Structure 1
Amino acid sequence: MLDKVENSPELESLPLTDNERLKRESNFLRGTIAEDLKDPITGGFTADNFQLIRFHGMYQQDDRDIRSERSQQKLEPLHNVMLRARLPGGIIKPEQWLAIDRFAADKTLYGSIRLTNRQTFQYHGVLKPNIKEMHQVLNGAGIDSIATAGDVNRNVLCSTNPVESELHQEAYEWAKKISEHLLPKTKAYMEIWLDGKKEKTTEEPILGSTYLPRKFKTTVTVPPNNEVDIHANDLNFIAIAEKGKLVGFNVLVGGGLAMTHGETGTYPRKADDFGFIALEHTLAVAEHVVSVQRDWGNRSDRKNAKTKYTLDRVGIDVFKAEVELRAGVTFQDSRPYEFTSRGDRFGWVDGIDGNQHLTLFIMNGRILDYPGRPLKTGLRKIAEIHPGDFRITANQNLVIAGVPPKQKDEIERIAREHGLLDDNTSPLKLNSMACVSLPTCPLAMAEAERYLPTLIEKVEGLLEKHGIAQDHLILRVVGCPNGCGRAMLAEVGLVGKGPGKYNLYLGGNRVGTRIPKLYRENIGEEVILGELDSLIARWATERNEGEGFGDFVIRQGVVKEVKVSVTDFHA
């Protein structure tokens, strides 16, 4: 059964996408990457290698701000790569941070470290001659980038809540186990980047010789905080505890946020609850949710290849039954749980072990030394003295975890002196998010990261105008509809449509369990702010007690609630 099916039975008559060919011919993800590295004629990767390096955790990009200028000079674009590291649960040691910091400063075009909502970090602007060194530096620090991009299971997210640290530690250990279990077995990464011994690969027992039809994302989370946005992911394990001890997981399958403008066959979708499993079945269920998607996913249309579309095409019950059959497990009824919050708890939080944890807000996750705010220097100074660890959150922020009481004042002093801690940051800003977008993302249609601070300031003005300055809404901006900034789980989501133009979506909720709906299409800032001004004015005066903005616009009929995406999202 494993590794026999190249396309789902009902799709067998359709041609496979070219991505299926290049995976099949790649010699288990090796391609000719090693040879391409030696080519001095171009700063980029050619032919299939452009796609294959993604399985090694990299995307080829260029600086779009200077693309036109270089073209006029008859130069190729300034090709470079973005690398995304593999850090299950986002936990990193101070000595690892220092190694990451040094390479960012010495060998990247932008000098920054970018924390992502995949609970890891990214380098942007690594030129071809420095790529191999980058992997070797990371490997020396105990970090790799295996399977953080491409058609595989990517970095596994996990709750970073330091309050329930014993339960979190158990969940984190499972996140690591799931990540390791679902990794590609090919040694291509070690051979190409680390000069490892060449070993012939004959099979990929879980992923298959042509890997998955599309990317696959997994989380492990501990209620009541939905900090990892479970509905953005293909596979989710919701921790169920008894007397403070982890006893199993509720399993949710089929979430995903990407879509394509103008194509109604694509849509964001919430994950479905398959039921409860005991701990001993975790890896088997993870493996066979993946294997069913591997065999049944659409390999003829990458826009409909994700798990969410497989569930809607074959039926939730059929997919679930196949997982049970392959795993030899029967899902039990889901155990009760509730999400009451989303996002990070900022400032100091007491841990149960006597240590404390400081959560820092990092605007857009971008760590760099700015005028008057030398964030990167501050974190380096903290890493030099901190005996605990760092935890990257799924919301682009950073926890300085495990701070002994005697060190608390020193850590806080460094954080404040370097602009890492600001008591006046608004609730709106703390709960907002943007993807990277321009100038480095090749898919970006509009600004996101660079635009978000300006937009926040103007929306803060609207909240103040209507007397609710200390309230907030979940605001997210993305440069394209591919889902990276999770705007399709926001109360107000802006999705880039073109330069300075966005689609405005409304109606998500504060805990991240509802998809928003299109309200206005292809509009600029003036219209966006005009619409928000009117709606915030109504929300301030007409809302029920404690009613969030997204709940308000649904109740008032501003937009219809999206209950079932396949029928409701485009209706």
Structure 2
Amino acid sequence: MGQEGKLSKIEIIKRNSNYLRGTIVEALQDGTSHFSEENIQVLKFHGTYQQDDRDLRRQLTKEGKERAYSMMIRARIPGGVLSADQYLQFDKLADDYGNGTMRITTRQTFQLHGILKANLKETIKGINEVLITTLGGCGDQVRNTVSCAAPHEGPFYDAVRQDLLKLVDATSAKTNAYHEIWLDGEKLDLSDGTSPEDPLYGEAYLPRKFKIAFTYEGDNCCDVYSNDIAIIAHRDGDEVEGYTLAIGGGMGRTASDKHTHPFLAQAFCFVKPDELIETCRTVISIQRDFGNRENRKFARMKYLVQERGIEWFRTEAEARLGHALALPREIEWKSAHDHLGRMSGANGQVHLGFFIENGRIHDTESMKLKSVLRDIMTTYQPGVRMTTQQNLILTGLTEEMASEIEGKLRDAGVKLVEEQTPVLVHSMACPSMPTCGLGIAESERALPAIVRKFESALAELGLRDEPISIRMTGCANGCARPYIAEIGFVGRVIGKYDLFLGASAEGTRTNQLFREMVPAEELVSTVYPILKAFREERLPAETFGDYCNRVGIEALQERFVPVS
């Protein structure tokens, strides 16, 4: 599959990139405002995307001017764990070179937007100065590896963290190009025909992006099944008994192609801790060798798993490993909520998790979030954890520090989680307009107003305290994981969205398409009668997603979609 026939355009670019070098060095010195298409594709492996301000496109074209180009930089921060000083470096770089904002992504890392090409190298160097890289932030390789962000303490959790870091190292690209280009590292002499081919990725890397997530059995706050490899840790006292692996998850689809779908990872095997790295690398190598390199719409590993089947995948992995794989364990999930509010730690420590709407850290007239966080980081030097639901946890505080920080947040106009509705706290949106080149409809700029209309509707129905998850994306790629939200809005054209309903609150079931092309101003009114029916017909303790799934999408359509 994908190894014969015509290669996609991007596959050819990768093969001709001289192991991710392209002509980036020359382009950084050519005085222009943007990169060529070939370099744009290679730059993704280095953690940066070329974008432009889409709000200005039409006017600039009318004036005969070029687009307002800039770069987005995405770091690689395994598990979203930072020091206060590392956080402050991103804060400074956002002001010095970016648009003054920082964005927490759904993969526990920071994106900086608005970086001009002329400042790209200095920004990437600045990130590396605090021992963080952008290599692996994007591109057809293993992306930032995520995990449950709960600030648990003890030998078991320390061991899982160490296994995560070892796996990150074992699955990171080994090219020297990154250090050559951005950190003025020693340039390799390839004139003698020496091949610096990556031992895992080879010459052409993977057919498509690859995502890995860790979590602890019972806690699915990181939507572990949405990843290519889901790694679930099992505990035996203070030790890691082993890991259950599930494979083949992925959110993206193409709205115009009914053969594309979001999938959740399927149970694959159980491994002991010392078998984890080799098994994961083997899974990655199978995707490398058999994944579709002709059509990028079908290049994610989820399509290989769906086409060949789990049993074929297990047989292939066992042949490469040279031993049989143990069967996966049965998994029981208890929660998928983010870890927000005050949490007690060891030795009297306190951890504080708080909601950041759509992950955007910036100052507005009514809320000085970026400024107050800078003050908090400087004053208290907490540990920092980003969550996969785009929120922030401050760790290692005393009770007094936590109270002072809560006061500072309130004074800055930042509400604590107990002061916000569950539907707001469970909402997420991708950036989309005006920076993302793939965005078709608004997302981050649209969802806040829509969620507040939902808040009013739920209050009217007596459902204010229902933790219903709402997620929105500006296109079908699904970066905010809308397909595992109880209510998912996916941009189809400007101002209109496909509406999905019925995912499980535990992240173990995708939702289904309820209605296409719903205007933004009708999203709340379209869902309202279903919410009313849920209130009247729900079973004891039944969630909204489970209600929609129990009743069935077709039955809901018959009752609530008007006949045209």
- TM-score, reference length from structure 1: 0.94
Q: Find the counterpart in structure 2 of residue 566 from structure 1.
A: none
Number of residue pairs aligned between Structure 1 and Structure 2: 550
Alpha-carbon offset, residue 166 of structure 1: 4.2
Over the matched positions of the two proteins, sequence identity in percent amounts to: 38
| Paired residues for 1:127-526 under 5 Å | 127-163=116-152, 166-199=155-188, 200=190, 201-422=195-416, 423-526=418-521
- Taking the aligned partners of 2:261 and 2:222, their CA distance within structure 1 comes to 20
Alpha-carbon offset, residue 328 of structure 1: 3.3
- Taking the aligned partners of 2:39 and 2:526, their CA distance within structure 1 comes to 45
Q: AA paired with 2:145?
A: V
For the 8 Å contact 1:233–1:255, the answer to whether it is kept is yes
After TM superposition, the structure 1 stretch with the greater mean CA deviation from structure 2, 236-245 or 433-442, is 236-245
- Taking the aligned partners of 1:352 and 1:337, their CA distance within structure 2 comes to 28
Partner SS state of residue 373, structure 1: coil
Q: Find the counterpart in structure 1 of residue 559 from structure 2.
A: none
Q: Find the counterpart in structure 2 of residue 564 from structure 1.
A: none
Alpha-carbon offset, residue 339 of structure 1: 1.5
Alpha-carbon offset, residue 39 of structure 1: 1.6
Partner SS state of residue 370, structure 1: coil
Alpha-carbon offset, residue 50 of structure 1: 1.2
Q: Find the counterpart in structure 1 of residue 562 from structure 2.
A: none
For the 8 Å contact 1:157–1:218, the answer to whether it is kept is yes
- Taking the aligned partners of 2:451 and 2:408, their CA distance within structure 1 comes to 27
- Taking the aligned partners of 1:527 and 1:398, their CA distance within structure 2 comes to 32
- Taking the aligned partners of 1:401 and 1:359, their CA distance within structure 2 comes to 8
Whether 1:34 and 2:25 are equivalent positions in the alignment is yes
- Taking the aligned partners of 2:409 and 2:163, their CA distance within structure 1 comes to 32
For the 8 Å contact 1:446–1:500, the answer to whether it is kept is yes
Q: Find the counterpart in structure 1 of residue 58 from structure 2.
A: 68
- Taking the aligned partners of 1:128 and 1:344, their CA distance within structure 2 comes to 36
For the 8 Å contact 1:368–1:376, the answer to whether it is kept is yes
- Taking the aligned partners of 1:64 and 1:12, their CA distance within structure 2 comes to 37
For the 8 Å contact 1:151–1:211, the answer to whether it is kept is yes
For the 8 Å contact 2:46–2:136, the answer to whether it is kept is yes
For the 8 Å contact 1:172–1:220, the answer to whether it is kept is no
- Taking the aligned partners of 1:398 and 1:494, their CA distance within structure 2 comes to 24
Alpha-carbon offset, residue 385 of structure 1: 2.3
Q: Find the counterpart in structure 2 of residue 120 from structure 1.
A: 109
- Taking the aligned partners of 1:44 and 1:465, their CA distance within structure 2 comes to 51
Q: Find the counterpart in structure 2 of residue 99 from structure 1.
A: 89
Render the CA deviation track for 1:124-178: whole Å, top value 9, x for unaligned.
Answer: 1100111000011111111110011111000000111124554333222222111
- Taking the aligned partners of 2:49 and 2:316, their CA distance within structure 1 comes to 34
For the 8 Å contact 1:517–1:559, the answer to whether it is kept is no
Q: AA paired with 1:124?
A: H
For the 8 Å contact 1:94–1:389, the answer to whether it is kept is yes
Render the CA deviation track for 1:445-497: whole Å, top value 9, x for unaligned.
Answer: 11110111101011111111211111131110000001101001111100000
For the 8 Å contact 2:3–2:293, the answer to whether it is kept is no
Render the CA deviation track for 1:30-61: whole Å, top value 9, x for unaligned.
Answer: 00011111121x31111310111000001110
For the 8 Å contact 2:512–2:553, the answer to whether it is kept is no
Q: Find the counterpart in structure 2 of residue 567 from structure 1.
A: none
Alpha-carbon offset, residue 329 of structure 1: 4.3
- Taking the aligned partners of 1:163 and 1:419, their CA distance within structure 2 comes to 29
Render the CA deviation track for 1:208-252: whole Å, top value 9, x for unaligned.
Answer: 111000000001111322111112110111001111421210001
Render the CA deviation track for 1:154-211: whole Å, top value 9, x for unaligned.
Answer: 0000111124554333222222111111111111111001110012452111111110
- Taking the aligned partners of 1:118 and 1:143, their CA distance within structure 2 comes to 15
Partner SS state of residue 67, structure 2: coil
For the 8 Å contact 2:3–2:289, the answer to whether it is kept is no
Render the CA deviation track for 1:429-456: whole Å, top value 9, x for unaligned.
Answer: 0011100110100111111101111010
- Taking the aligned partners of 2:172 and 2:58, their CA distance within structure 1 comes to 39
Change beyond 3 A, Cα 1:402–1:336: farther
Render the CA deviation track for 1:279-332: whole Å, top value 9, x for unaligned.
Answer: 000110111110000001011111001100011122211112211222234322
Alpha-carbon offset, residue 550 of structure 1: 1.0
Q: Find the counterpart in structure 2 of residue 57 from structure 1.
A: 47
Change beyond 3 A, Cα 1:516–1:560: farther
- Taking the aligned partners of 2:178 and 2:408, their CA distance within structure 1 comes to 38
Alpha-carbon offset, residue 106 of structure 1: 1.6
Partner SS state of residue 399, structure 1: strand
- Taking the aligned partners of 2:62 and 2:347, their CA distance within structure 1 comes to 61
Q: AA paired with 1:270?
A: L
For the 8 Å contact 1:435–1:484, the answer to whether it is kept is yes
- Taking the aligned partners of 1:514 and 1:116, their CA distance within structure 2 comes to 22
Change beyond 3 A, Cα 1:12–1:216: closer
Partner SS state of residue 214, structure 2: strand
Change beyond 3 A, Cα 1:163–1:139: closer
Structure 2: runs of 5+ lacking an equivalent: 557-564
- Taking the aligned partners of 2:233 and 2:132, their CA distance within structure 1 comes to 26
Whether 1:531 and 2:526 are equivalent positions in the alignment is yes
| Paired residues for 1:12-27 under 5 Å | 12-27=3-18
Partner SS state of residue 26, structure 1: coil
- Taking the aligned partners of 2:37 and 2:55, their CA distance within structure 1 comes to 25
After TM superposition, the structure 1 stretch with the greater mean CA deviation from structure 2, 312-321 or 503-512, is 312-321
- TM-score, reference length from structure 2: 0.95
For the 8 Å contact 2:180–2:187, the answer to whether it is kept is yes
Structure 1: runs of 5+ lacking an equivalent: 1-7, 562-571
Change beyond 3 A, Cα 1:165–1:89: farther
After TM superposition, the structure 1 stretch with the greater mean CA deviation from structure 2, 497-506 or 64-73, is 64-73
Whether 1:547 and 2:547 are equivalent positions in the alignment is no
